[in-house]
Structure 1
Amino acid sequence: MRKQNLYQQKDKYDYMVVQNEAPLLEWLLENVKQSKSKIKATLQNRGIKVNKRMVTQYDFALKPGDKIAISTSKKNDKFQSRHLKLVYEDRYIVVVEKNPGILSMAAGHSSLNVKTILDDYFKKTRQKCNAHVVHRLDRDTSGLMIYAKDMQTEQILERNWHNIVYDRRYVAVLSGQLEEEQGTIANWLKDNKAYVTYSSPVDNGGKYAVTHFCLLDRNDTHSLVEFKLETGRKNQIRVHSADMSHPVCGDIKYGNGDDPLHRLCLHAYVLCFYHPITHQPMEFDTPIPMNFRKLFSKR
Structure 2
Amino acid sequence: MASKYHSKNKQQPKSLQFKVEEASELLPFLIKVMSNRSRNSVKSILARGQVTVDDHIETKYNYALHPGQKVTILKNKAAIKQNVLIGMSILYEDDAVIVINKEAGLLAIATEKEKKQTAYHQLMEYVRQEDPDNRIFVVHRLDKGTSGVMLFAKQKEVKQTLQNNWKRVVKERTYVALVEGEVTKQDGYISSWLKESKAHRVYSSPIKNDGQLAITRYKVMQSNEDFSLLEVKLETGRKNQIRVHMEDLGHPIVGDKKYGSKHNVIGRLGLHAKVLSFQHPTTGQLLLFQADVPKSFLKKSK
Length-normalised TM-score, structure 2? 0.71
1:180 to 165, 185, 205: 185
Per-residue deviation, residues 262-284 of structure 1 (Å, max 9, x unmatched): 11010001000000111110101
Structure 2 partner of 1:214: 219
1:250 to 252, 255, 258: 255
Per the TM alignment, residue 127 of structure 1 is displaced from its structure 2 partner at its CA by 6.4
Matched, 1:296 2:298: no
SS in 2 for 1:152: helix
Q: Which runs of 4+ in 1 moved over 4 A?
A: none
Which amino acid letter does the alignment assign opposite residue 177 of structure 1? E
Matched, 1:86 2:83: no
Structure 1 partner of 2:203: 198
Per-residue deviation, residues 36-55 of structure 1 (Å, max 9, x unmatched): xxxxxxxxx9xxxxxxxxxx
Per-residue deviation, residues 110-159 of structure 1 (Å, max 9, x unmatched): 12211100011112233642110010011111111110001000110110
Which amino acid letter does the alignment assign opposite residue 298 of structure 2? R
Matched, 1:105 2:109: yes
Cα distance between partner residues in 2 of 1:155 and 1:295: 40
1:142 to 147, 154, 163: 147
Which amino acid letter does the alignment assign opposite residue 92 of structure 1? A
Per the TM alignment, residue 198 of structure 1 is displaced from its structure 2 partner at its CA by 0.7
Which amino acid letter does the alignment assign opposite residue 102 of structure 2? K
Structure 1 partner of 2:284: 279
Write out aligned runs for 1:1-299 (5 A). Answer: 80-111=84-115, 112-126=117-131, 128-203=133-208, 205-297=210-302
Cα distance between partner residues in 1 of 2:286 and 2:225: 40
Unpaired runs of 5+ in structure 2?
A: 1-11, 13-81
SS in 2 for 1:253: helix
Which amino acid letter does the alignment assign opposite residue 274 of structure 1? Q
Contact 2:104 2:146 in 1 (8 A): yes
Unpaired runs of 5+ in structure 1?
A: 1-44, 46-77
Cα distance between partner residues in 1 of 2:132 and 2:277: 26
Per the TM alignment, residue 205 of structure 1 is displaced from its structure 2 partner at its CA by 2.8
Cα distance between partner residues in 2 of 1:227 and 1:127: 40
Cα distance between partner residues in 1 of 2:245 and 2:168: 23
Per the TM alignment, residue 259 of structure 1 is displaced from its structure 2 partner at its CA by 1.2
Give the percent of matched residue pairs that are identical in Structure 1 and Structure 2. Answer: 40
Contact 1:169 1:227 in 2 (8 A): yes
Alignment size in residue pairs: 221
Cα distance between partner residues in 2 of 1:287 and 1:174: 18
Larger radius of gyration: 1
Per-residue deviation, residues 21-74 of structure 1 (Å, max 9, x unmatched): xxxxxxxxxxxxxxxxxxxxxxxx9xxxxxxxxxxxxxxxxxxxxxxxxxxxxx
SS in 1 for 2:122: helix
Per-residue deviation, residues 271-298 of structure 1 (Å, max 9, x unmatched): 000001111101011111111111134x
Cα distance between partner residues in 1 of 2:132 and 2:171: 29
SS in 1 for 2:257: coil
Which amino acid letter does the alignment assign opposite residue 254 of structure 1? Y
Cα distance between partner residues in 2 of 1:189 and 1:263: 25
Which amino acid letter does the alignment assign opposite residue 84 of structure 1? M
Cα distance between partner residues in 1 of 2:285 and 2:136: 21
Q: Give the root-mean-square deviation of aligned CA atoms.
A: 1.5
Structure 1 stretch displaced more, 177-186 or 99-108: 99-108
Contact 2:221 2:229 in 1 (8 A): yes
Cα distance between partner residues in 2 of 1:155 and 1:211: 25
Per-residue deviation, residues 81-134 of structure 1 (Å, max 9, x unmatched): 231010000000000011111111112131221110001111223364211001
Per the TM alignment, residue 202 of structure 1 is displaced from its structure 2 partner at its CA by 3.1
Per the TM alignment, residue 204 of structure 1 is displaced from its structure 2 partner at its CA by 5.1
